[in-house]
Structure 1
Amino acid sequence: MALFGSSASNLIGLDIGSSTIKVVSLQAVRGGYQLESAGVETLPAGSIVDGAIAKREAVADAINHVFHSRKIKGDQIASSVSGPAVIVKRISLPARSAAEVGESIHWEAEQYIPFDIAEVYLDYHLLGPSEDGSETNVILVAVKRETIDNQSDVIAMAGKEPAIMDLDSFALHNIYEVNYKPKPDSVVALLNIGASIMNVNIATGNEFIFTRDIGMGGNYYTEYIQRDLGVSYEEAEKYKKGLAPEELKGTVSTVLQSVSEILCLEVQKTFDYFRTASDFEELETIYICGGASRTEGLRDYLQETFQVPVEFLNPFQRIKADGNALPAGNDGCDFAVAAGLALRYRGDKPTGPASKGSSFGFLTGNLSQILKKLTKR
């Protein structure tokens, strides 16, 4: 799969989730970006199992359908992955040149990656020297080859070219930075709450400083409602969005709160872990997005638990869009990752010795600035 071409045009952002796929097409214009079109398509049940694509033809058909229904043109795709197949680590190596890092990164990575090194794609980014100059700081990313290859094959089955494979968490940060122009000293958390995975990012200003994928999301709410109320999947999906019959609303609210408590405990663990490993300051705001972020009562519960403002992340706050660019009735909150991917373009990351021949390219051109705070940890 070709990664690094000469064209600077934006790619189509494709977010393949466990229950839906989202597609965003952006056009670079004077002063920013224009949203050309965005679309969402529900996947048949069982299409994604444990984060892996189980029904390849069904997913490929869904990709084609949303491109056709939303009149999205172009076949160069930036997509992304997350979950247990992804490892992101900051590592420190003895001081060495960029070329030396590139030559040695594969064997250095073996001690940090809990997979067979032959079974992963590796990518890395130099953060720079440590404060005393004795070490070189590097962000290392590894993704299981099976995960990348499977997703790339499905994109190709849909007649599209998988140009770049990113991480959900990096795409999320990029769209946040474009839309919110954060102050240098602001500390925020970004929670992308999908059906089965929640991405938790922490950022200071424009600097991406921590990420963790948590294996839970909106499906927990659905499963608990089904179990406790004895209703169908379809009914449970409606109930968690506030559409329960009046006589069941109290019971549903109790179930939703119990699941929100579990989710918040996992988020709290993430914050606590990060505090022990960094100069983490108090959060100013939590931004939430993703399909499950609208679960009834979740926003209020997060706000009550963490005692900070909780806002829905708007991926098109500073991106121009006409009334037809988004699907009817959709405020855009579901499209954060897809929009972040649509910011990517061929050639926005220089190749390195470890990247040649790889089908994984996760870094944006300004990542050295986004991640520089990691050199202080």
Structure 2
Amino acid sequence: MFHLKTKKKQIMALDLGPTALKMIILNCQKKPPQVVDILFYVYEQEAPALNDPAAEDFFYDLLIRALGPYRNRGIQVAMSLPAEMVIRQELQLPRTAEKDIPHAIYWALKEKMEQSPDIFQRDHLVLGSSRQGQRETMNVRVYLAKQDDVIRIEALFDRLGLSIQYLEPSDISMAAVLVHCPPPELGENPLVMNLGGEGSTITIMHQDLPFLSRQVGINTRTWSASLALKKGLDEEAARQLIHEHGVSYFRHRFDQLAEGELRELVFKSLETDIQQLALEIHRTIDYFQSSMHKGKVEQLVLAGGGSRLPDLDHYLAETLGIPCIVYDPLEQLDFSVCRGDEEKVAICRQQAPRFTVAVGMACQD
């Protein structure tokens, strides 16, 4: 993570998606972690990309409305960085470099850094060791962020009277939430499929770290657009049909149900994309198991808004032959002191898979 300031006992974690804001404040000194406040806030219009200079005014107005009570209180904020704002670099460093890894990273990336002087700072994860011939090496993933993007985000929160404490790539948050709030009986080397509105991330965990991460072009927004185009619907009607039926036709295709034709229509419109999703997961698992020799992937964990697609977990489990669960990051949290009314909490609980990244950020040490 890109640390900017010193962390306090409580931190506000923000995940600014393309259509909704997810916010949670946790007290992680309590066991289980206590939810101090939580919010799911849907935008009135589609958000611009966060690294677009024009986004500052959009998000300033949005955050004033959504987070008004917290303005000018100096509360510290952790925020997820979208994939397009993070450069990931995989390195193999000599084992002798472990005494000063940042220095070794600097020299390994010196040419790249000189070619891109606007790169702000870097952080890294040590993913383990390997041997090439007689030489033992460390596998390191380096995260780089651009200076202009980070300065723009800091300026936005300064205007709001909030203090950015760290910015974090989403795959680190995904790992953290599974470590601190694991689902029951989490299998070895779980694969986390984070299905988002703009893009999706596949992450395979190994020894509590995001060992293999990759972005895939599949996203939930294209599904409703595809159904709308094929069937002459407006996108909102298509989205509602998908939300209601998902891929349930796959599971209930032999049932004589009144809505059978509608289920089939939705499934057929999604079938190519869902098959592609399964293929991307299969390729990732195959590469991990055949090339990295870290054991088998024993479980598939669905997260993000797309994980709520009815019966997607059953489809992937049967297609891939791996147990699959829809992850609820809020399930093991304590809501007894949460500020706000029960209706707000209930809305957030309904959207629980979309809070995976935010909860992971809030759980960081």
8 A contact 2:192–2:301 mirrored in 1 = yes
2-structure distance, mates of 1:319, 1:38? 11
Q: Per the alignment, in what secondary structure is the counterpart of residue 236 of structure 2?
A: helix
CA contact (8 A) 2:218 2:273 kept: no
Counterpart residue number, 1:318: 332
> Is 1:191 matched with 2:193?
yes
Q: Is the 8 A contact 1:43 1:59 kept in 2?
A: no
5+ long unaligned stretches in structure 1: 349-377
1: CA distance, partners of 2:331 / 2:161: 32
Contact 1:34/1:320 (CA < 8 Å) preserved in 2?
yes
1:229 aligns with one of 228, 231, 235: 231
Q: CA deviation at 1:120?
A: 2.1
Tell me which residue corresponds to 1:362. none
- 1:331-352 Cα shifts (integer Å, max 9, x gaps): 42211111111123xxx5xxxx
Q: Is the 8 A contact 1:23 1:66 kept in 2?
A: no
Task: Give per-residue Cα distances to partners, 1:157-206, cap 9 Å, x unaligned.
Answer: 44322110011111111111112278797121111111011121111353
Cα distance in 1 for residues equivalent to 2:265 and 2:113:
43
Report the secondary structure of 1:58's partner residue: helix
**Structure 1 contact 83–215 (Cα < 8 Å) conserved:** no
What TM-score, normalized to structure 2? 0.80
**Which string of whole-angstrom CA distances, capped at 9 and with x for unpartnered residues, describes residues 77-115 of structure 1?**
10111324423334222344556543343341256x699
**Alignment pair present for 1:286 and 2:288:** no
1:62 alignment counterpart: 62
Letter in 2 for 1:191: M
Shift of residue 226 of structure 1? Answer: 1.8
String of CA shifts for 1:42-93, please: whole Å, max 9, x gaps: 234341349757533222232233334899x863110111324423334222
Q: Output the CA distance in 2 between the equivalents of 1:140 and 1:211.
A: 12
- The RMSD of aligned alpha carbons is 3.4
Corresponding residue number in structure 1 for 2:80: 80
What is residue 256 of structure 1 aligned with on the other side?
270
Structure 2 Cα separation of the partners of residues 277 and 182 of structure 1: 29
CA contact (8 A) 1:176 1:313 kept: no
Query: Equivalents in 2 of 1:304, 1:297: separation in Å?
Result: 11
Looking at secondary structure, tell me which structure has more helix per residue: 2
Does the C-alpha gap of structure 1 residues 143 and 107 become closer, same or farther in structure 2, counting only changes over 3 Å? same
Measured at CA, do residues 103 and 208 of structure 1 come closer, stay the same or move farther in structure 2, by a change above 3 Å? closer
Residue 177 of structure 1, aligned match among 169, 176, 179: 179
Counterpart in the other structure of 1:370? none
Q: What letter matches 2:358 in structure 1?
A: A
Do 1:124 and 1:138's aligned partners in 2 also have CA atoms closer than 8 Å?
yes
1:28 shift after superposition? 2.7
Number of equivalent positions? 343
Asked whether the equivalents of residues 44 and 58 of structure 1 are also in contact (C-alpha less than 8 Å), the reply is no
8 Å contact from structure 2 (residues 220, 306) kept in 1: yes
1:87, 1:335 → 2: CA distance? 23
| Contact 1:46 1:55 (8 Å CA) reproduced | no
* 1:303 counterpart (294, 312, 317): 317
Instruction: Work out the CA distance in 2 between the residues paired with 1:272 and 1:54.
Output: 41
Query: Structure 2: how far apart are the matches of 1:74 and 1:50?
Result: 22
1:336 is matched with: 356
Identity of aligned residues (%): 19
- Greater CA deviation, 256-265 or 85-94? 85-94
**Deviating more after overlay: 144-153 vs 292-301:** 144-153
Bigger CA drift: 129-138 or 162-171? 129-138
Structure 1 residues 51, 256: closer, same or farther in 2, change over 3 A? farther
**C-alpha distance 116-68 of structure 1, shift in aligned 2 (>3 A):** same
Specify the code of the residue in structure 2 equivalent to 1:4. Answer: K
Equivalent-residue separation in structure 1 for 2:320 and 2:78 (angstroms): 34
Contact 1:18 1:51 in 2 (8 A): no
Aligned equivalents of 1:282, 1:118: Cα separation in 2: 41
Q: Which AA in structure 1 matches 2:45?
A: A
1:63 counterpart SS class: helix
Say whether the 8 Å CA contact 2:9–2:29 is kept in structure 1: no
Instruction: Find the aligned partners of 1:53 and 1:262 in 2 and give their Cα distance.
Output: 34
In 1: Cα distance, 2:185 partner to 2:89 partner: 26
Is the contact made by 2:86 and 2:145 (CA closer than 8 Å) also made in structure 1?
yes
Select 2:163's aligned residue among 161, 164, 170: 161
Partner deviation per Cα, 1:259-312 (whole Å, 9 max, x = no partner)? 211222222232233234301433222111111211234222212221122111
Of 239, 242, 245, 2:244 maps to: 242
- 1:1-16 aligned at under 5 Å gives the runs 3-5=4-6, 7-16=7-16
| CA contact 2:3–2:165 (8 Å) conserved in 1 | yes
